[in-house]
Structure 1
Amino acid sequence: MGEPPRVHSAGHVFRQIVQRGGIKGLWKGSIPNVQRAALVNLGDLTTYDTIKHLIMDRLKMPDCHTVHVLASVCAGFVAAIMGTPADVVKTRIMNQPTDENGRGLLYRGSVDCLRQTVAKEGFVALYKGFLPCWIRMAPWSLTFWLSFEQIRKMIGASGY
């Protein structure tokens, strides 16, 4: 955009954050980030196992790569569905302007941000960025679950 860089090194940005928001500024956005991580992992872990069993039982398929790929894609999709609203809230909280004490000027917390977003922009606003989120999560989910299944087989862990 033709502007000079705002950040010159990790140490530089560390000092800027502490200068603007104190030590507490280093943790800005940590609560919504943990909330997001919990939702994403909940969606990914429960969906993979549930869909894997469903495919194997209903379609009478063996525990194979095809089942793992299908379950992984579904798990990534559900993780994106559950995580995108938290991503929106997390991003808004982390990017909001703050006062001299580091307190947000727009939102009091995650729930307040969620309420304001839905009230002002509608429920669909919570899914801004869904497609890029899923495009990012799908390969991760696929890589994780295929690796998990291979490691499980290599160590002789029982299947389902």
Structure 2
Amino acid sequence: MVKPLWIKLLGENVPFSAEHAHQFRCEVVGARPTPNITWWRGNTQLFSSKYVESEDKNKTISILTYRPSMDDQGKTLECRVHSPLLDRPLTDSWKLNILHIPLVKLDLGKQMNATAITETADVYFECTIKANPWVYKVTWRLNTRGCKHHKEDGGG
């Protein structure tokens, strides 16, 4: 039995697209027999990985196929190698940057009573946006016409 020398996530930690499958690769060198490599997103173990060994059995690569969600933004993706010859697992990790299209939610203003709105009354709406990358411009429209918003009155 030989303990692992090192562990390394292969490739670059680039932004990943939400809801698209990506392959992540983790290399372990020096462990014999084939090491136990696990994948984690935060405190949650991920499955769906497979192993590829070098001919001399000195290198093992674990390949994880994973479809991140927009909620994975900022979470840590980690691979771990466990061995009875180690006091604790060896690890390597990336902080995830997950790109996704903007999600927009439009609500009637919190202080507005929908049943008390009349034809000439002022109304206001609240627009909640979740996006990565962040939006650079927000516009308001009623049918095909632009609407004015008043920042000084709480409009954004």
**Which TM-score applies when normalising by structure 2?**
0.24
Question: Looking at both structures, which has the greater relative contact order when contacts are Cα pairs under 8 Å and sequence separation is at least 6?
Answer: 1
Q: Which structure is larger by alpha-carbon Rg, 1 or 2?
A: 2
| TM-score, scaled to structure 1 | 0.23
